Structure 1
Amino acid sequence: MLEIGTGTGWTAALLSHLAGEQNVTSIEVDAAVGERAAKNLSEAGVHPHLIVGDGADGAPAHAPYARVHVTCGIRTVPYAWVEQTRPGGVIVAPWCPNFGDDHALRLIVTPDGIAHGRFPGYSSYMMMRSQRDPRGRPTPAADRIHCATTRIDPRTVASAPPGAGLAMASLTGLSSYGFQTGDGGYVFAIIDPADHDQWCTVTWRPDIDDYQVYQVGDRPLWEEVTDAYFRWVAWGEPGRDRFGMTVTPDGQQVWLDTPDHTIG
């Protein structure tokens, strides 16, 4: 069994109790955190295999694994985890596209080296370090700023059910967050995690019919998100449990109902 993210060592201890310490490998990216976990586990009399390194690479020395248990948020499933899991093995992880709710992801690896699975519920965690968004955004040049209005209430998108957020994240590849303003308004922000020069905000205020869209960059983020939202509506507003994911050496694909109905 492979654990991604040792943390305090608590989960490694539980896994060792369930599977036997000789069958548990846990990897931690932060050397100081890993050292404290080793101390905690030693004091508890538990001695799994502990590694300091990037969890995205897995731990091939002890592969193959029957289970991979991920205790950090991911946007992209590293294929190394699939490679290091035996056929029939299971990978569970918090899939965190950072658009609305995050999701529990459960994958099963098949003999051809492909993993298929679904999103059975909610799960969230701090992001894997190599997949975190950098902090801060550059001050945009004036010619990159575009202002417009929309009649779509941004709160409709921001508060949409988990299935909608999953669909919007998969169709667009974008992230979002929202916050209340001091004057009773609400701001919904959309970010392109692959290009931090592309972002926008949509502001709701009471007693107005048209809401301000402030767009930085040439990619029409708000239009993409609302198009994705209404595609989800047209599909019958499916819940997260109707979506799934397939992971291959070429990447990951999210699908609706069956793997041949890929959406992103």
Structure 2
Amino acid sequence: MNSLGVLMKKEYSQVLRDFKVIWLPLVFVFLGATQPIMTYYLPVILEVLGGTQGISIDPTMIEQTGGQVLAATLGSQFDQLGIMIIVIAMMGLIQSDKSSGMLAFILTRPVTVSSYIGGKLVFNYLLVSVSVGIGYFISLLYIHFLFTSVELSQLIGALLCYLVWVLFSVSFITMLSAVLNSQALIAIVGIITLLICRMLVGLHPMLDAVNPAGMSQHAMNLLISGSIGANLSINLLVTIIWVLLTVIITHYWILQKKFHES
């Protein structure tokens, strides 16, 4: 078995010990189910609790299309609390190995820095992608019964676009985990940066083209309108460049053994 396979197996053992392979998908299942349920039943819940006095409920709320509700799941659930959960789950990827001395030990073995980073990034991206995909599917099930159906091509296209944004998020947190020495600092910088990226979407077309979070907006637009933006290809290319840049910085930081610095 090559070094990349061994390192991915090590990552698998680690997520089993941390129960990450269980709780991370469950979190996205919860997030995926929350949006359609709350959208459909919120007027009823407020009426039962007697909290509708002085509150105006849009009667068209439950008349939204399935695509609109699924887009809201991405924008209101996955891109807010979901991003925070991803950062918290990934913040110790390399930092924990640095603090325990495991990183220095691994690099004394016949293991390249590229294999080390590759094993971390590939396995954890797959874990996050599967978790997001499960939550996305659960949301779709509720939407199918409570709202209208969504075309298969839109479903798949939107998910693929969103997973590009997820790829950047995971690679960015991996870079922070290599560069920074405190998990608390990694979490703060990661959450703030990714949420700012998401908040900047829509301010200007040129900014959207170079903003990795623009891929999330493309996914939402596809679900709502059935069409993609004109700058999707540019945004995709720039996001891949951002991902490569984070990997290069991570590789350089470890190769130069900067993880020994306090």
TM score, norm. by length of structure 2: 0.25
- Which structure carries more relative contact order (alpha carbon 8 Å, separation 6+)? 2
TM-score of the two chains, using structure 1 as the length reference: 0.25
